[in-house]
Amino acid sequence: MTVSIYDLETWDKEYVWHPFTQMKVYRQEKPLIIERGEGSYLYDIEGKKYLDGYSSLWVNVHGHNHPELNAALTEQAGKIAHSTLLGSANVPSILLAKKLVDNTPPNLTKVFYSDSGSTSVEIALKMAYQYWKLKDPARFSGKKSKFISLREAYHGDTIGSVSVGGMDTFHHIFKPLLFDRLEAPAPYTYRLTENNDEEACKTMCLDALEAILKERHSEVAGLIIEPLVQGAAGMITAPVGFLRGVRELCTRYNVLMIADEVAVGFGRTGTLFACEQEQVEPDFLCIAKGLTAGYLPLAATLTTEEIFEAFLGEPEELRTFFHGHTYTGNQLACAVALKNIELIEREDLLATLPNKINFLAQKLIPFRELPHVGDVRQQGMMIGIELVQEKASKKTFPAQMQVEHQVILRARMGGAIIRPLGPVIVLMPILSMSTGELEQLIDITYEAIATVTVRAHALQR
Ligand SMILES: *Cc1c(COP(=O)(O)O)cnc(C)c1O
């Protein structure tokens, strides 16, 4: 049986339920069906090619269909695809754990594997919670059990990670299922201050966090934060020194710090991990998206010797961390992740970034002059362009106009795939993209925003 393009489009609409997607709208449009990828480009089933301007949802590092990553995968497949980490070990997961420990902040020495960003966060939350129970039951049992997270935080979609989430649109409906969290303000400079005053924003947010900690620290097990950039919230970039300030407050008030580097890890912010930029050593580091360079689902939660040791004891003491997933430490995924880090090192990928980051910064300047661009945020290779209907009031376009969606469709016609987050157009180029490709991506995005927003505004009046 040969399958036609028509069949695929029909069956997609008939059988596949897409994530984070209003299927009523989706089914009214022609689906974009990707068939293959090559370097910085994606190709659909009609053979049309597009720049991958969102790194296939923030995961791709070295480009698609990379010969060495492919080889690492097939070589491992020729040995074994999977055996369990419950009670036994495997070669790639050992090598990768050592590699991760060597390349993350020095205090992190233990690696716990899972399969997605959400699970890496669940694990950190559960470990932090159990840690306080184990540490000094008489003093802490039942007391240090709450978590602090930021407004607009996104840490994944499982119930635990949603519990520490702060995005009303995604999370409100599940409220009755969630555990309570304490909310600290997000350092959203554009919306919290008059003239993008980063210093004022930082002070305001750290003071508010300190007020919470001062009053409630005895109940708080941990604080979770997306270092430097709150990604899903719309690329909210933190003022310099904010992360460092949060670390100091956690230390002062005896609260464990969980760094969710699922999005910002693996070079996105310009350094391998975002925490490095402010010399921060978190108590937990959650990594996923870029870990396998966009090849396979794999995640890890790294933690310290002190946390690990609290879980040691005789089996009957029940200090064990009773958590694990069937595919924990999967060999194929670990083999590719190892090759990903080897490639980053061998090609000195991080040293190539400052040029690209500066180039992007230059290319982003004209966006600020556009009548409906309220704010342009960049941290390394992560970019958010916030659209507004009116600059003075910072009012966004009415949701039903779907302006952001129209921008994305127009960019697609221009040959680039990008995605919005609410009123923010996100650019997340593949780290290996050439300057020429970055220029093309920015030009397509500029044209799409300029055309669609002006037209939408005219329609409104
Ligand atoms: C994407 C993301 C997650 C969730 O990762 P999944 O692999 O989709 O479960 C968690 N935290 C942050 C900061 C993310 O960007």
Residue 336 sits in the same domain as residue 194: yes
What number does the ligand 1 atom closest to the CA of 158 have? 9
Q: Do residues 350 and 267 make contact, with C-beta atoms less than 8 angstroms apart? A: yes
Tokens of 317: 């003491």
CATH code for the domain of 363: 3.90.1150.10
Distance 6 CA to ligand 1 centre (A): 33
Q: Which domain holds residue 449?
A: 32-65+348-460
Give the pLDDT confidence score for residue 348 in this predicted structure.
Answer: 98
Mean pLDDT of successive 10-residue segments in the chain (461 residues)?
94 97 94 98 98 98 98 98 96 98 98 98 98 86 91 97 91 91 98 96 98 97 98 98 98 98 98 98 98 98 98 95 97 98 98 98 98 98 97 94 96 97 97 98 98 87 65
Which position has the token pair 């090609």? 347
Q: Give the SS3 label for residue 378.
A: strand
What number does the ligand 1 atom closest to the CA of 261 have? 13
23 inside domain: no
Counting ligand 1 atoms within 8 A of each CB, the residue from 289, 301, 327, 426 with the most, and so the one to mutate, is 289
CA distance 77 to 70: 10
Distance 156 CA to ligand 1 centre (A): 5
Q: What is the dihedral of CA 380, 100, 55, 233, to 10 degrees?
A: -60
Q: What is the pTM of this model?
A: 0.97
Residue 203 sits in the same domain as residue 268: yes
Task: Say which amino acid occupies 65.
Answer: N
DSSP state of 209: H
Residue 299 sits in the same domain as residue 395: no
Angle (nearest 5°) at CA 162 between 156 and 166: 100
Q: Give the SS3 label for residue 218.
A: helix
Among 266, 275, 261, which Cα is nearest to 295's?
A: 266
What string of DSSP letters covers 37-84? EEBTEEEETT--EEEETTHHHHT-SS-BS-HHHHHHHHHHHTT-S---
Residue 322 sits in the same domain as residue 375: no
Q: Which residues does a 6 A CB cutoff place in the pocket of ligand 1?
A: 116-118, 121, 154-156, 226, 231-232, 260, 262-263, 288-289
Which position has the token pair 């002059």? 369
Angle (nearest 5°) at CA 335 between 228 and 295: 60
Give the pLDDT confidence score for residue 169 in this predicted structure.
Answer: 82
Give the pLDDT confidence score for residue 461 in this predicted structure.
Answer: 65
Centre a 10 Å sphere on the Cβ of residue 214 and count the other Cβ atoms it contains: 11
What number does the ligand 1 atom closest to the CA of 117 have? 5
Q: Tally the domains of the chain.
A: 2
Q: Do residues 289 and 155 make contact, with C-beta atoms less than 8 angstroms apart? A: no
Residue 45 sits in the same domain as residue 163: no
DSSP state of 32: -
Give the pLDDT confidence score for residue 157 in this predicted structure.
Answer: 96
Q: Do residues 135 and 145 make contact, with C-beta atoms less than 8 angstroms apart? A: no
CATH code for the domain of 152: 3.40.640.10
Centre a 10 Å sphere on the Cβ of residue 370 and count the other Cβ atoms it contains: 17
